[in-house]
A and B are shown apart, each in its own frame.
Chain A
């Protein structure tokens, strides 16, 4: 398989064509453009090393997310960044390349935080190895975490090593009826307490809070927070994580704003809030300029996640930063063979 990938890449370079790296295609909706000939990673699949007591799993990039999660669940472990499962064909390579994280992100960290090492094929068809299968590794630049969220524009991921964590012993979800501004204040207040909170979500005047950990700890935290216990909390968080929640289903155009958690409600459309206030999913067709301005004023950035006019939804980069990112793309993909224009119109 590796030889086939290398041949395809070298041929594309010599024919001056670009390649679009694709796993299950569950994130084809995402990105600025889908240029290039598809290179399908799914035949390069399989968990190749997993030792639960190391908290490390290594899998080929084409391994399906579902298969990987099944292997981990058998040993009581999980991907703690809770990547969205956007379809049965989703692959771990696609998950890391997109860099998406789910409800647990604010307290447990992001997809890139859990990357320990990668194998990545460059434009010469050479497979390079960065990072490793250990928790701490500062030898050389951190190329492996750079690959997370690069949307396949810097090389073809062939293998990833990820840190995994044990599944919490108990989880419990409570709901509190609160308008948006009060919910934002509450989420930030709770995050400043040492309670075992693992996720928060606000939508339609309801704040949902998930508690995770040992049973007595969860019970004590629940007593201190109050609210009403949600009977099927797990199903609720699945719907948020997998973007099957009505907010994601109902709206075709969806903006994703990464902002300071304390920012007051951004009144530009129906909103679902996650990550303790730091992630705002804003639906509808508000003026893109206003959305970008609001995100910048809130110390963050906006991305048109889905629908709408893609060219208006590109993440804004300051001129110096844009130039640096272009140089980096040029340095790592000098032939310009990988995923042109997926992440930005210029790289």
Chain B
């Protein structure tokens, strides 16, 4: 018992680990809440693309020597609006629009970063996260943006629910669907930006989708899905960080693997919807 206590407390001696834990905790929570909409509206590809597309923003911020998250933020919002605009025009399908923009932006980002001599090290951090490098300023930015995202989700809960569940009703109620859709894209962009340092660009989509998908299997109301997802996201993030500390693994990867383990458990054993449950019912 004391051993367990000791192994939980021991990493907490290092301030950078405490900062990393806070960052992971907040990111895990916010991602899962926004992720509920990503899962329900089938926007996983959009989320993944957005994460990659912010790379040039980071590169420019790096070259200009300003906070990387600021560059990511600007680029994330621009990309969200750009994809939204291209796909709404209707000449090309949404996933095609996403594919074009995402690859172009990512390539531009890599090209810009390759002009910097020591880019290989930094690119790794951007791609896979560097949660132990989170500064106090980053922490405040994550907290601030996280609060904004959660506040919007809570205040516009019923409106976002209706445009996701029943666009026809939303239209008959004269809700501004386009505006709400863009707002949702921007919430996803903000979420992507704050997740950058914990899991990085490449694994970002897992934080958006996996805890929310796990919660989807376990719940049957949207706000339950958000709360359960947030709990799973937060627990996985913290547990993943401990795992990376003791097993000496890359932190972002460890967090995502813990998330996936939760998902597999739910997929197999979720009441009513889990594979095992369904099998048993069929046998009877």
Do chains A and B stick together as partners?
no
Residues of A near any B CB (own CB < 8 A): none
